[in-house]
Structure 1
C-alpha cells in the first residue's frame, strides 16, 4: 500500500524542519518500507544496502539502477526525511564514512544450517544489536512520553499478546506489578475481550503484535478503545490494522525473518526494549511509591528463598 498525499506532505514538511542524521537511515528504511510503493521500496532498500556506491550516483543514475523514475527517487528521499535528493546523497556519503571508520563485522545475520556455533553466536549478536539500535533510532519519543504518562496514572492496565508477544506482555505486567501498579496480561483471546469490557476512561490497554494484524490482539484492543480506555499499540508498522484502535502507537524495527529464525523471535528483542523504556519511564514518574514497592517485592522474594533453605 502506497503513502497518501497527506502522509507525503507531512513527510516533506518534517524533512524541511528536521532532516534525519545519517546514522538512522537504515532504521527509517526498515520502518517505512512496508508502507511504500514497490518502486519506492526498491530505491530505499538500494540506498540502505550500498550507501557508498549510491552516494556517487546522480538522481538519473539511481533511477536507472533501481528501475524507477527520477520523481520516484526524489519522493523516496522526502519520505525518508530529506528535503531533496542532494540531501540524501550527503547523508549516504556520511553513512558510508561512518561504516568504514567503524569497521563493521564481516559476518551477516543469515544463518545457514551448516554454520558452526561460534559463527551462529556472532551472527545472532549482530542481529540483536541491529534490532535494538534500529528501534531506538526510529522510536517516536513523544508517543513514548504519552504512553508513560497514561500508565503512570492508570487505575488498571490490561496487556494483550499472543505467542511470542504474550511473553513480552508478561514481562511488562510483572515489571508494573513490582512497582505497585495493577496490571494483567491476557493471552487467551476470550478472556482478553471479557476483561476489556470492564475497562473505562483512566485505564490503559496495550496490544502487542509484531505484524499489527493479529485479530486476537486487535479485537480486545478495539473493545477497550470503545470503552474509553487509553489504548497503546506496539507493532512494527505504524499503518498496521492495530493502529486503528490505538490512541498511541509505538513502533519497533521489523525483525529479519529466515527459515531458521522466524520474525517473531528477532522482533521480541525490540519489543523488550520498548517494555524496558515504558517501565523505567513509569518508575521515574512514580518514584515515591515505586521505590518502596520494588524494595518490598525484592525483600519478600529474598525471604521466601531464604526460608526454603538448601536442598537436602
Structure 2
C-alpha cells in the first residue's frame, strides 16, 4: 500500500471538467454517452439549460442526466453546472488572450492564426495541468524516486519522447534510470525491478496496451508503479498504485501529440525539481561532471 491512497487521489479537484468528460466517455452507459456527446458539441448547454431542458434536448430522462453528473464525480446536476460555467469562462479567457474566436485549427488558417492557436492550446494545457496538480501525490513520488536504486520509464509513440526526456534528466544527476521504446525490452526490464524501485508509465489516453503491460509486470515485481496520464480511471490508472494527471486537450485537427506532450513535460519537470530538492547538494557534482563532458560538443 502507498502512503497516498487511490481514494484520496479520486477526491482531488478536476479543474477542467470538459477534459474529464472526454476521459470518462469509454466508461459511460449508452444513455449517458448521448448526453456527453451533446454537451461536448456545445459545452454552454449545461450553463444555459436546466436539467429538464437538457434531458429533453438529449432525448433522455432526468434520472439519466442526474446519474451522468454523479458518474463524473459530482453530487448532482447543480454542481456539474457550476463546474461547466467555470470551464467555459476559462476557455473564453484563453480565446480573448490570443484574439481568437475559436482555437480549433482549420486547414484554411494562415500561419499567424496557426501560431496563435497552438500557443493558446499549449499554454492552456500547462496552466490547467499545474492548477490541478495533486501536490501530495507528486511529493510521494519524488520521495520514492529520491531513494530508489533504479527508475524505469515506459512510454511508446509520442510518450516515448517524454519518457526519454525524464530519463536523461535523472541520468544527469546520477540515477540508474532507463527507458526503451521497444515493448519487449521494456517489459523484460520491468520483470527485473524489485521493491524500492520506481516505474513510471506514460500514456496520454491511458489505454496503450504495451505500456499497461509493462506497468503490470513492474508492479508484480515489487516496484512502485506511477501512471502519468490524461485520463483518470483509465486502464493504466487502474493498474498503477499512484497516478499523476495532466489536463491537456488535443484539437481534432492534430498532426502529432502537441498539447499532451507539453503537459506531460511540465508535470515531469515539477516532479524532477522536487527530486533534486530531496537530493540536495549531492546532485551538484553529477551535474558539473555531465556539463563538463558535453562542453564543446
Q: Which runs of 5+ in 2 are unaligned?
A: 1-5
Q: Deviations over 1:29-65 (max 9, x none)?
A: 3443443334434545655665655334221111112
Give the length in aligned residue pairs: 289
In structure 1, the residue matched to 2:164 is 170
The higher-RCO structure (CA 8 Å, 6+ apart) is: 2
Shift of 1:287: 1.8
* Aligned: 1:205 with 2:184: no
**TM-score, normalised relative to structure 2:** 0.81
Change (3 A) 1:67 1:143: farther
Which residue, out of 164, 187, 196, partners 1:193? Answer: 187
Conservation of the 8 A alpha-carbon contact between 2:20 and 2:231: no
Q: Would the aligned equivalents of 1:63 and 1:73 in 2 still touch at CA under 8 Å?
A: yes
Q: 1:133 to 1:64 in 2, by over 3 A?
A: farther
Is 1:86 the counterpart of 2:90? The answer is no
- Counterpart selection for 1:130 from 110, 113, 124: 124
How far is 1:279 from its partner? Answer: 0.6
Shift of 1:187: 1.1
| Partner of residue 218, structure 2 | 224
**Stretch deviating more after TM superposition (125-134 or 238-247):** 238-247
Unaligned runs of 5+ in 1: 1-6
Q: Single out whichever of 37-46 and 277-286 deviates more from structure 2.
A: 37-46
Alignment of 1:42-53 (within 5 A): 42-44=34-36, 50=42
- 2:249 equivalent to 1:267: no
* Closer, same or farther: CA 265–207 of 1 in aligned 2, 3 Å: same
Match of 2:27 among 35, 38, 41: 35
Give the equivalent residue in structure 2 for 1:276: 269
Retained in 1: the 8 A contact 2:191–2:221? Answer: yes
Q: Is the 8 A contact 2:122 2:258 kept in 1?
A: no
**Residue 245 (structure 1) aligned to one of 219, 227, 239:** 239
Residue in structure 1 matching 2:52, options 54, 60, 70: 60
The structure number with the bigger radius of gyration is: 1
Contact 2:190 2:217 in 1 (8 A): yes
| Worse-matched range after superposition: 239-248 or 99-108 | 99-108
